[in-house]
Chains A and B, each alone.
Chain A
Amino acid sequence: MTKEKHRNSGLGALSIKNVTKVYDPEGVNVLAVDDCSMEIAGGEVCMIVGPSGCGKTTLLNAIAGFHSVTEGSIHLDGDLLCGPSKPLADQGADRMVVFQHGALFPWKTLQENVAYGPMVQKVLAPREAMDKASTMLAEAGLGSFLTKYPGEVSSGMARRAEIVRALINDPKVLLLDEPYRAMDALTKQIMHESLLETYDRTGVTIFFITHDLEEAIFLGDKVHIVTTRPCQLKKTVEVKIPRPRSYETQSSEAFRKLLEEVSDAVHEEAVKAFQAGEREMA
């Protein structure tokens, strides 16, 4: 039901238009993103795939409001996030980020971490926020870890709690930056299923950066392949595998064909990035 509501109202549509980002850390201009445009419909799972250090994270940082854009504009549901008149987007709870290395506050318990957002935004009283946090953590299978600190649970559990911490704020967009990068294949599988289940329940727009191609196809509605630095949209592959998906999907013929298509496009960029000798940037 919730999903339908999101889909129908088309909430969380991101429109990235001609975004360019130039860094000049040491007096030399580095072009990270060059005239990159993308349209992401509300409630879509959009996977961004590209070689390491190509500027994918720069794009995410611009949407989240961590970095400014040099040129171009980004709109969320028609409202300007950042553009020529306002290069740096405001940070806000309508776009929640799940970080590459995990950023649950290690000094707060899982429950306190999840309750933090509604509490500081004052949308819920502390008591209610803690109750809602415990309910949502229980739904994510973390009911018996409420009072544990992030350092006491496995990385998979911490990551799941971090996604709950994002979702409790009812964001329009979930921005994930290679969240499962450091995980072993088995844990990753479980995390994927859990994320798909969450998505089927909430229908939130997902902007997901990865360079795991199977992950991209398994989770996504669309896979955007971007070029090596500077980052530009190279190709978009639509994944027309029906939802709900389960891990058997990965052995289907359709899946294999998509994987081949994406691999071909990415491989070329990976070779270019390798030849440019770009250092792996986290």
Chain B
Amino acid sequence: MAMGIALRMGIDMSANSSTTNQNGKIIAPQGFDLFVYKTKKYLGQLDPYLTLMGIGLWLFAYWVLCEGLQIWRFDKLPGPVAISKDWFAVDPFQGISIFTQEYYDHIIVSCRRILIAFGIATAFGVPLGLFMGWSRTIRDYIFPIIEVLRPIPILAWVPLSILLLPGFEGPVLFLATLASFFVTTLNAMLGVDSIDEEYFRAAGCLGSSRWDVFKNVVVPGALPFIFTGLQISIGVAWFSLVAAEMVSGDLGLGYLIVDAYMNNVTVPMVIAMITLGFIGYFSSAMVRMLGNKLMAWHVKELSQQGR
């Protein structure tokens, strides 16, 4: 940590890995060299150590409550030692570990459902939202209905979806898709609303047809909002998927949690929860990365503002 502070003070400033060629021109490091430079710089800062310390403190508190002191009620929960013992055991005591096929079956089923639900919601929600933002007529037809349906909590849809759709898969997919769809649609529409009127005027001046405006102004202009929406919507999709799996399911991480609870095995329950946390984190990180790739202009603009 002391090192981190020292480096922050600027002692490391001379040690960047830029090189100078014969003409005395400075060449910025590239590829692997750049990666090494960035890693070194990151490790030279205080942040990674603070993060590690935060995780350590949190785990320690959890251990003290559940296993160290076994405080009343907390003694019923599995502590970090019990969980990691089972999680990484070849022959887990409570049935679920990284060595059991069952663990991966649940993960794969849930991920596949998210992929389908998020995919359908995006494929329909983004265009619908864009059209609603673009055309007054389409908005007048559809927006009021969506605004009434949207606030209905997704769990309230459970009975209807079970009545409507056969089997386990149908209702679960329906619920996750629906929740994700509302968020995506609304954000795409707001994205179009957020576009400055002057871009539409400029496009008109330059001789654009209505379709040119849609392709060149509406879609790219709404992208930042769309991707904010997609990041929220994939989270909402996970949320409602797990809720649906808990109510009506045969497999999946949500089902694993309820199933473990019913059978009075607490370790798989917590393992499933932590797994959900990590997968959820990675799925939104992937959406964010895709967004940054598609919106190089936006990323550069923000970095010019020092963000």
Contacts and interface: CB of A to CB of B under 8 A. Distances in A.
A interacts with B: yes
Contacts of A255: none
Given A93-B205, A116-B206, A121-B207, A103 B199 contact: yes
Contacts of A97: 201-202, 205
Contact of A169 (B207, B216, B220): B207
A93 B198 contact: no
B220 A107 contact: yes
B297 A120 contact: no
Contacts of B223: 107
Nearest to B211: A120
Contact of B198 (A95, A103, A107, A151): A103
A67 to B, nearest CB: 10
A95 to B, nearest CB: 7
A250 to B, nearest CB: 31
Interface string B127-165: 000000000000000000000000000000000000000
Given A99-B198, A120-B209, A151 B216 contact: no
Contacts of A117: 206-207
B30 to A, nearest CB: 18
A105 interface: yes
B70 interface: no
Interface string B95-107: 0000000000000
A21 to B, nearest CB: 17
B304 A103 contact: no
B304 A95 contact: no
A106 B297 contact: yes
B295 interface: yes
Interface in B159-205: 196, 198-199, 201-205
Contacts of A95: 205
A116 B204 CA distance: 11
Given A117-B207, A121-B207, A107 B202 contact: no
Contacts of B125: none
B208 A105 contact: no
Interface residues of A, number: 26
B201 A149 contact: no
A108 B301 CA distance: 12
Interface in A67-103: 91-93, 95-97, 99, 101, 103
Contacts of A151: 297, 300-301, 304
Contact of A103 (B201, B207, B216, B295): B201
A64 interface: yes
Given A103-B199, A105-B216, A120-B212, A152 B301 contact: yes
Contacts, number: 75
Interface in B210-265: 212, 216-217, 220-221, 223
Contacts of A105: 199, 202-203, 216-217, 220
B207 A149 contact: no
A65 interface: yes
Main secondary structure of the interface of B (DSSP, over half): helix
Interface string A103-132: 111111000000011001100000000000
For B196, B205, B207, B297, the residue with the greatest tally of chain A CB atoms inside 10 Å of its CB is: B205
A23 interface: no
B192 to A, nearest CB: 14
Interface residues of B, number: 25
A115 to B, nearest CB: 10
A117 B202 CA distance: 10
Contacts of B295: 107
Interface string A144-185: 000001011000000000000100010000000000000000
Nearest to B294: A107
A96 B209 CA distance: 16
Given A91-B204, A117-B207, A120-B207, A152 B300 contact: yes
Contact of B202 (A65, A92, A103, A149): A103
A247 interface: no
Contacts of A103: 196, 198-199, 201-202
A274 interface: no
B188 to A, nearest CB: 16
A69 to B, nearest CB: 17
B218 to A, nearest CB: 11
Contacts of A106: 297-298, 301
Nearest to A148: B300
Interface string A186-213: 0000000000000000000000000000
9 contacts: A64-B201, A65-B204, A96-B205, A97-B205, A105-B199, A107-B220, A107-B221, A107-B295, A165-B206
Interface of B: 196, 198-199, 201-209, 212, 216-217, 220-221, 223, 295-298, 300-301, 304
Closest 6 CB pairs of A and B: A151-B301, A107-B220, A91-B204, A121-B207, A103-B202, A117-B206
Given A105-B216, A107-B298, A108-B220, 20 more contacts: A65-B204, A91-B204, A93-B206, A93-B207, A97-B201, A97-B202, A101-B196, A103-B202, A104-B202, A105-B202, A105-B203, A106-B301, A107-B295, A117-B206, A117-B207, A149-B301, A151-B297, A152-B301, A165-B206, A169-B207
